[in-house]
Amino acid sequence: MAEVVEVEVKSDWASKINWVQMASVAASILIVFGVNVPPELQAQIAAAITALSAVVTIVMRTWFTTKLTESSAAKV
């Protein structure tokens, strides 16, 4: 017999991880297409944005995520 567990879920729009990733994409697009900086500096900034967003996502997912999103709960 399967165990049933009731958990609180939140909207996908309330996901901190989703917002970090969306901000990362926006910042990367902005630095490549919207800000006038030398190409070698663009590459360094884009790499820093990618690395920072990855670290923030890992930290948030590991230590600060306490609720499932609706789409995640649907898969369980």
What would the pLDDT profile of 29-73 be if each residue is shown by its tens digit?
999 898 889 988 999 999 999 999 999 999 998 898 877 777 777
On whether residue 6 sits in a domain, the answer given is no
Question: Tokens 């070698």 label which residue?
Answer: 40
Q: How many CB atoms lie within 10 A of CB 15?
A: 20
User: Is residue 2 in some structural domain?
Assistant: no
In a domain, 5, yes or no: no
> Does residue 37 form part of some domain?
yes
What is the chain's length? Answer: 76
Tell me which residue range forms the domain holding 25.
Answer: 11-74
Total domains, the chain: 1
Asked whether residue 65 is assigned to any structural domain, the reply reads yes
- Residue 4 belongs to a domain: no
16 lies in a domain?
yes
Read off the pLDDT of residues 6-39 as tens digits, 9 standing for 90 and up: 778 888 888 889 999 999 999 999 998 988 899 8
Residue 1 placed within a domain: no
CA 22 to chain centre: 6
Query: What's this model's pTM, rounded to 2 decimal places?
Result: 0.73
Which pLDDT value is given to residue 2?
76
Nearest to 76 by CA among 7, 23, 1: 7
- How confident is the model at residue 69, as a pLDDT? 75
Residue of 41, 42, 46, 44 lying closest to 28 (CA atoms): 46
